[in-house]
Amino acid sequence: MNRSFDALLFDMDGLMLDTETLSCAATRRAGAELGIQIDDAMLMGMVGLSEARCTRYIAEYLANEELAAQLQQTSRAGYRRMLEHEEIPLKPGIVELLDWAENQGIPRAVATSTRRAVADVKLARSGLARYFRHTIAGDEVARTKPEPDIYLAAAALLGAAPERCIVLEDSPYGMQAGVAAGSRVLLVPDLIAPLETQRAQALAVCGDLHQALTLLRSL
Give the pLDDT of residue 34: 93
Stretches where the chain sits below pLDDT 50 are none
Give the pLDDT of residue 139: 95
Task: Please count the other Cβ atoms lying within 10 Å of the Cβ belonging to residue 18.
Answer: 18
Give the pLDDT of residue 147: 97
CA distances (Å), origin 124, targets 63, 130, 131, 142, 182: 37, 8, 10, 25, 30
Residue 131: helix, strand or coil by DSSP?
Answer: helix
Give the pLDDT of residue 20: 86
Beta carbons of 70 and 60 less than 8 angstroms apart: no
Question: pTM for this one?
Answer: 0.91
Domain locations in the chain as residue ranges: 7-18+89-218, 20-85
How far is it, in rounded angstroms, from Cα 36 to Cα 170? 28
How far is it, in rounded angstroms, from Cα 184 to Cα 165? 7
CATH code given to domain 7-18+89-218: 3.40.50.1000
Which contacts of 79-85 are long-range, i.e. CB under 8 A and separated by 24 or more positions? 79/22, 79/23, 79/26, 80/118, 80/121, 82/22, 82/25, 82/26, 83/19, 83/22, 83/118, 83/121, 83/122, 83/125, 84/121, 84/125
